[in-house]
Amino acid sequence: MGAANGVELRERSIRILFSYMGKQRKETLYFDNAPLSPTPANIKYARRLAAEIRLKITAGVFDYATYFPHSPHATSGSTAPLLFDVMDKWLQLHDVKSSTKSQYTTRINSFWKTGLKNIPIDLIRYSDILEVLNSGSWSSGKSRNNELSMIKGVFTFAVRDKIIKENPCDEIERAAYQSPRPDPFDLSEVNSILQYIGEHRPEQILNIVQFTFFTGLRTSETLALRWESIDFQKREVLIEGGNVYDEESDSTKTFESRIVKLTSKALEALNRQKAFTFLQGAHIFHDPKTNQPWAYAKITDVRNFWQITLKALGIRYRRPYNMRHTYATIGLMSGAKPGFLAKQLGHSQRMFFTVYAKWISSDDDDREMAKLEEEIKRSMAA
């Protein structure tokens, strides 16, 4: 289609033609991040807008970003790089695992690049970030906070790189949310689960479930576990890596290796597992369907046996991560010291007391009070 009065009509859009700072410009009009279609009403609007732009250019008060925020020319005098370019550079230089970087890239492209305008980064305001955040459908406050943390990282990078002076995310409040409390199984439930899996599932599944119940290892740590890390004489295992999204790392979640003492039930599972993988490869636990080390997506998608097992036994559903909580709470209820269990699980003592305060206070208080009463009786009798 042709152009008249500074308006060029295209099949599915409208462009404004004008001269600015000695250069010819052609800018597409947008509405809600989509090109404005060439309807009669929109064409009439475009012609008025073209005339308005010419007048403002003549008067020296034309603000490019106000009229064409999607344009790379919308600098409004700013010499800062465009937001999307900074995002891409942050993704390129951000020192994280490749699986994490892949997730960040997906979220940046699908959410932030869709919601924010690709204008010079110093023109992005607090309200722009907040508006995009409020447009999201969050499953929890934690999800919103994760998204905020990521985009805040982009702007922190820009501040440290001397591109901008202030981070527009700094004053945005994090959403309040309640962390899920531990919901462990009791020993009778553990025994029923193991018996059912032993009767209805391949033995390798029984072995990994039993080992997890009686070590409390994280899923990532269990998947990365190798036979060379087991000391059968000392009854312990060295935990120094993990597997997340099928990417193995030589560091744990807390970036600290640790020695975990093995219970007799954990050793029992390992001894049974020897028949399957001890001579076949480095990793201990294999998917019985493939006879290869478990893929992260497969082990976390446990619908094939976990939900079915609990439903068949009439046990209230809890996600498999509660196997880790089960180990901690069984230890506390048996009288094990919190400090020892915190080391076993790879927690700081502060984190351990925060997560398991309910079990520590109720059981330890009674035991400590009994000690106090015994000392009082002994002293009074003397």
The domain locations on the chain are: 3-67, 83-160, 187-364
Question: Cα–Cα distance between 28 and 36 in angstroms, integer?
Answer: 8
* Structural fold of domain 187-364: hpI Integrase; Chain A (1.10.443)
Residue among 231, 209, 244 nearest 323 (CA): 209
Assigned CATH for 83-160: 1.10.150
> What's the pLDDT score for residue 241?
65
> What's the pLDDT score for residue 252?
47
Q: Are 336 and 261 in contact (CB under 8 A)?
A: no
> What's the pLDDT score for residue 3?
64
Question: Taking the model in full, what pTM does it have?
Answer: 0.60
Q: Are 116 and 169 in contact (CB under 8 A)?
A: no
Question: Cα–Cα distance between 40 and 46 in angstroms, integer?
Answer: 10
DSSP class of residue 377 equals H
Q: Where are the beta strands (DSSP E) in 94-246?
A: 230-231, 236-239, 242-244
Residue among 134, 133, 170, 142 nearest 155 (CA): 170
Number of CB atoms found within 10 A of residue 131's CB? 12
Query: Taking the CA atoms of the chain, what radius of gyration do you get in angstroms?
Result: 30
pLDDT in tens, the chain (382 residues): 556 688 999 989 999 999 887 778 899 998 877 889 999 999 999 999 999 999 988 877 788 878 887 787 765 556 788 899 999 999 999 877 776 788 889 999 999 999 998 888 988 999 999 999 998 888 788 889 889 999 999 999 999 999 999 999 998 988 876 677 889 999 999 999 999 999 999 999 999 999 999 999 988 889 889 999 999 999 999 988 655 544 455 544 555 688 999 999 999 999 999 999 998 878 999 999 888 888 766 665 566 789 999 999 999 999 898 999 999 999 888 888 888 888 998 888 888 888 887 787 555 566 667 767 777 777 666 5
Number of CB atoms found within 10 A of residue 40's CB? 7
